[in-house]
Amino acid sequence: MRFYHLQRKDGELLQLCVGIVCTCAEENCSMQKADKVDNFERTDYLCVTTAITKIDFAYKVKVEEFIAKETIDVYDMKILSVIKEGTTDVGPLGKKRAFLGYPHCRKALGLQSGKTYLLMGTSKDIRQEVLNNVLTYRYMLGQNTWVEYWPTDSECQTDDHELTCSGIQEMKQQYELFGCLNK
């Protein structure tokens, strides 16, 4: 069975390929939270647990390199802080991880090299691979991934970013003290 899209070259659906393994890339894009984010919304998202979605990780990351390939965008990021650590990728603090996105989602994601972001997502978006006998982790930036710009310390002193910074700090503190009440 084959599926086709009427508006694309040869009618084919978008695919996201890593090596020889391809998955359908027709889900909605993850979008960077561009407007002011409600602090309660951010804190609630950290603890989302439903039948189909459970937020397993929350990191402060820095985009170190961006590589645009034909079928995939690769954002090499360094994990600067672990707010919530899942069970799939244990001990990522200070390590580089590849975050994969769809080329058609590049603009919506808005990730820039050298900038820091808050990323929250599910374990089903983490792919484990063995490359050169080393276990590596690749994260999919899918429609359920929370992407929010994390301002620098000096930006946090400005009116434009003060609420974001205090909101992220409050979310971290609440999680450290109380965890998720809806486990």
Instruction: Say how many domains are in the chain.
Output: 1
Is the pLDDT higher at 176 or at 34? 176
- Residues 102 and 72 sit within 8 Å (Cβ to Cβ): yes
For the cut 70, the answer to whether the pLDDT of residue 3 exceeds it is: no
For the cut 60, the answer to whether the pLDDT of residue 96 exceeds it is: yes
| Distance from C-alpha of 87 to C-alpha of 99, rounded to nearest angstrom | 18
Answer yes or no: is 80 within a domain.
yes
Query: Which residue range is the domain that position 140 belongs to?
Result: 28-178
pLDDT, residue 8, reads 46
CATH value at residue 105: 2.40.50.120
Q: What is the per-residue pLDDT across 118-157, written as a single tens digit (0 to 9) for each? A: 999 999 999 999 889 999 999 999 888 999 999 999 999 9
Answer yes or no: is 150 within a domain.
yes
pLDDT, residue 183, reads 54
Answer yes or no: is 2 within a domain.
no
3-state secondary structure of 87: coil
Cα–Cα distances (Å) from 100 to 18, 25, 88, 112, 155, in that order, read 9, 11, 17, 14, 28
Q: What is the pTM of this model?
A: 0.84
pLDDT, residue 61, reads 98
| Distance from C-alpha of 114 to C-alpha of 108, rounded to nearest angstrom | 18
Mean local confidence (pLDDT), 99-106: 92
- pLDDT-derived band at 7 (thresholds 50, 70, 90) equals very low
Q: How many helical (H) and strand (E) elements, i.e. helices and strands, does the chain have?
A: 3, 9
Supply the DSSP symbol for 85: -
Answer yes or no: is 6 within a domain.
no
Mean local confidence (pLDDT), 156-162: 95
Answer yes or no: is 183 within a domain.
no
Q: What is the per-residue pLDDT across 40-86, written as a single tens digit (0 to 9) for each? A: 999 999 999 988 889 999 999 999 999 998 889 999 999 999 999 98
- Residues 29 and 104 sit within 8 Å (Cβ to Cβ): yes
| Distance from C-alpha of 55 to C-alpha of 144, rounded to nearest angstrom | 9
Supply the DSSP symbol for 111: -
